[in-house]
Amino acid sequence: MKLSHAINKLIASLGGVLLVAYDVVRIHKSSTNYVDENIYLMDNPYVPFPTFLILSFTYLFLNGFSNSRNVMAKGFRGFLSCFLIAYSFVFLAHQLYLTSEFGKAESEMLRNSTYLCIFLFFYFCSLCIETHRNLSRTVSTKEIIGGPIKIEV
C-alpha cells in the first residue's frame, strides 16, 4: 500500500469522526464560557447531524475491520461513502457561505472557519477517491489474487 493511499484512507476514515469531535469541543467551550459564536457545524438545516454521526462511525469501523478483498464489504463501503460525500459537500458549501459572511463582517472567527473549509475540502476529496476505489471493479496490480487453481477429477 502506498503512503498516499494510506494517508487518504486515514483522512476518509477519521475525517467524519474528527468533525464530530470538533463540534462537541466547540459546544463544550461555549457552554462553559459564554461566547457569541453559536454557529456550529450541526446547525446545518440540510443535513441531520445524527445521521452524519452514525454514517461516520459506521464508515470508520468498516474501513478498520473489513477485509480489503471482500467484494461485498467494498461495495457497502462505496455505497456508504456516497452518502458521506453528499453530506460533506453540503457541510462544505454551508461552511464556505459562513466563511464569506465572516469575511464581510471582518470577524476574528475567519481564520478558524477558513481552516475548517480547507479540512472539509480535503475530507471531501479523500472520500471521492476512496469511493472510486471501493466501487471500481478492476483489481489493482498490487492486489493480484495469485496462483493457479488445481482441480482434480
Residue 144, domain member (yes or no): no
Cα separation of 74 and 152, whole Å?
Answer: 32
- Domain of residue 64, residue span: 7-32+39-137
Number of domains in the chain: 1
Cα separation of 75 and 10, whole Å?
Answer: 19
Q: What is the mean pLDDT of residues 88-112?
A: 86
Q: How many CB atoms lie within 10 A of CB 101?
A: 14
Residue 113, domain member (yes or no): yes
pTM more than 0.85: no
Residue 149, domain member (yes or no): no
Residue 85, domain member (yes or no): yes
Cα separation of 114 and 30, whole Å?
Answer: 20
Residue 146, domain member (yes or no): no
Is residue 33 predicted with pLDDT exceeding 70?
A: no
Q: pLDDT tens-digit profile of 124-148?
A: 999 899 888 888 876 554 555 566 7
Report the 3 state secondary structure along 32-49. Answer: HCCCCCCCCHHHCCCCCH
- What type of residue is 153? V
Q: Compute the C-alpha angle 101/42/66, nearest 5°.
A: 125
Query: What pLDDT was estimated at residue 67?
Result: 76
Residue 92, domain member (yes or no): yes
**In this structure, are residues 68 and 134 in contact, taking their beta carbons and an 8 Å threshold?**
no
Q: pLDDT tens-digit profile of 15-31?
A: 888 888 887 777 777 66
**Which runs of E-coded beta strand occur in 35-132?**
none
Residue 143, domain member (yes or no): no
**In this structure, are residues 82 and 131 in contact, taking their beta carbons and an 8 Å threshold?**
yes
Query: What pLDDT was estimated at residue 125?
Result: 92
